[in-house]
């Protein structure tokens, strides 16, 4: 690889002149401009970004940390494509690093991006607690933004969505329609989102003065297969139910498969609601309802805030986003209550 020095020699000028021309800072005469550009062409010169970043102490790169178990979900797709587009519009690059499967590895991923001297880091945490995040943020100069979490001490660095509230509303929607035997399929319970959605369900039942029946709460793992297994166990246990709230659309899809196999239709026999509103979900069955998470809104806000932190400018402070209920059915419970 040819260096700036070589270009300078070829053009008969100094490195400084070449640098000035390339960075657009400082004056360069038309004549030397031509000569330098030609030398660059001849040499096939390309700037070494490592050297440049080292010298300027900037990288024009934003890091993103997410666990690779998320890479399968369309929630992450949305996050990634939104972030990539917004950042590139802003002339920056996104660097994605795997947070793997523990709090320690998640922290290492953040550290790696910081060591790479990324201008900022966006974290979609899976294992690190809110307190850990808060502490990491205060230890570093670079901005670290946290998606899907309500931070305690660095509120402006976090952005979140009221999962409990949307789950509450979805449950209440079913209750309003007359459903009383509502099964709930949880996500992985080591995830705060899963816990919040479960608590929203419970809260809605309680608000209605209904008991929480543990046999109607089945543990899932976010995957279609675990959603299918959940409904199978429900059927096997012979527990009556007229509606299912699945903690994400993937599990709702798995649930629907088993319902169909059992000759139960949605929503005539069983009402089914998922969360996240993944792109293929509406195509599965017009009757599948879903709670749409405001991923794109959150990502937009995170990046806007980041840009204003880095480049200066207005800093908005909208931390809390709301889900949108997309309900495609409004069917009262049918005669079916268990096998």
Partner DNA sequence: TTGTAGGCGTTATCAC
Partner DNA sequence: GTGATAACGCCTACAA
Query: Can you give the binding site for DNA, defined by CB under 7 A?
Result: 1, 3-5, 12-17, 19-20, 22-23, 25-29, 31-32, 45-48, 51-52, 54-57
CB of 285 to a second copy, least distance (A): 8
DSSP character string of 127-143: SS-HHHHHHHHHH-SS-
What's the rounded Cα separation, in Å, for the pair 251 and 292? Answer: 15
Binder of residue 97, out of DNA, a second copy, none (CB less than 5 to 8 A by kind): a second copy
Interface with a second copy by CB under 8 A: which range of 11-19, 23-31, 94-102, 304-312?
A: 94-102
Beta bridge partners of 325: 291
What's the rounded Cα separation, in Å, for the pair 115 and 106? Answer: 14
Binder of residue 93, out of a second copy, DNA, none (CB less than 5 to 8 A by kind): a second copy
What's the rounded Cα separation, in Å, for the pair 262 and 172? Answer: 27
Q: Say whether residue 286 binds a second copy (CB under 8 A).
A: yes
Q: Say whether residue 108 binds a second copy (CB under 8 A).
A: no
What's the rounded Cα separation, in Å, for the pair 211 and 23? Answer: 68
Interface mask toward a second copy for 125-154; x: CB under 8 A: --------------x-x-------------
User: Based on CB atoms, which residue is closest to a second copy, 65 or 204?
Assistant: 65
CB of 96 to a second copy, least distance (A): 5
Helix, coil or strand: residue 108: helix
Residue of 32, 53, 156, 177 interacting with a second copy (CB under 8 A): 53
What's the rounded Cα separation, in Å, for the pair 82 and 80? Answer: 5
CB of 225 to a second copy, least distance (A): 8
Q: Say whether residue 315 binds a second copy (CB under 8 A).
A: no
What's the rounded Cα separation, in Å, for the pair 184 and 171? Answer: 10
DSSP 16: H
- Token reading at 299: 């990502």
- Token reading at 112: 């790696």
Q: Say whether residue 32 binds a second copy (CB under 8 A).
A: no
What's the rounded Cα separation, in Å, for the pair 264 and 43? Answer: 70
- Token reading at 220: 């899932």
Binder of residue 236, out of DNA, a second copy, none (CB less than 5 to 8 A by kind): none
- How far, CA to CA in Å, does 280 sit from each of 178, 254, 288, 322? 29, 13, 11, 22
Beta bridge partners of 320: 160
- Token reading at 211: 């008991």
- How many residues bind a second copy (CB under 8 A)? The answer is 54
User: Based on CB atoms, which residue is closest to a second copy, 53 or 304?
Assistant: 53
User: Based on CB atoms, which residue is closest to DNA, 36 or 253?
Assistant: 36
Binder of residue 286, out of a second copy, DNA, none (CB less than 5 to 8 A by kind): a second copy
Q: Which residues bind a second copy (CB under 8 A)?
A: 1, 44, 46-51, 53-54, 59, 68, 71-74, 76-78, 80-81, 84-85, 88, 93-98, 100, 111-112, 114-117, 139, 141, 224, 228, 250, 253-254, 256-257, 260-261, 279-280, 283-286
């Amino acid at each position: 690889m040819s260096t700036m020095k070589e270009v300078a020699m070829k053009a008969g000028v100094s490195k400084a002149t070449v640098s000035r021309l390339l960075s657009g800072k400082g004056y360069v005469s038309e004549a030397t401009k031509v000569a330098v550009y030609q030398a660059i062409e001849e040499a096939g010169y390309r700037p070494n970004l490592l050297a440049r970043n080292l010298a300027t102490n900037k990288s024009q790169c934003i890091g993103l940390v997410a666990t690779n178990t998320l890479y399968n979900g369309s929630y992450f797709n949305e996050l990634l494509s939104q972030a990539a587009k917004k950042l590139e519009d802003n002339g920056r690059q996104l660097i994605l690093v795997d947070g793997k499967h523990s709090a320690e590895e998640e922290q290492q991923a953040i550290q790696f991006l910081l060591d790479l001297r990324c201008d900022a880091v966006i974290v979609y945490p899976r294992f690190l607690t809110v307190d850990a995040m808060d502490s990491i943020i205060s230890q570093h100069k670079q901005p670290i933004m946290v998606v899907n979490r309500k931070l305690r001490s660095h509120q402006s660095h976090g952005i979140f969505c009221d999962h409990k509230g949307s789950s509450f509303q979805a449950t209440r929607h079913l209750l309003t329609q007359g459903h009383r035997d509502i099964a709930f399929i949880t996500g992985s319970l080591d995830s705060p989102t899963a816990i919040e959605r479960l608590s929203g369900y419970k809260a809605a039942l309680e608000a209605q003065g209904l008991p929480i029946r543990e046999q109607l709460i089945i543990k899932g793992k976010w995957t279609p297969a675990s959603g299918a297994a959940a409904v199978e166990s429900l059927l096997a246990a012979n527990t009556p139910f007229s509606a299912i709230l699945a903690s994400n659309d993937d599990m709702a899809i798995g649930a629907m498969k088993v319902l169909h196999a059992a000759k139960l239709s949605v929503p005539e026999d069983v009402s089914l609601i998922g969360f996240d509103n993944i792109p293929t979900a509406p195509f599965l069955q017009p009757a599948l309802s879903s709670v749409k998470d405001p991923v794109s809104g959150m990502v937009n806000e995170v990046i806007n805030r980041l840009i204003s932190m880095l480049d200066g400018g207005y800093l908005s402070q909208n931390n809390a986003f709301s889900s949108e209920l997309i309900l495609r059915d409004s069917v009262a419970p049918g005669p079916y209550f268990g096998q």
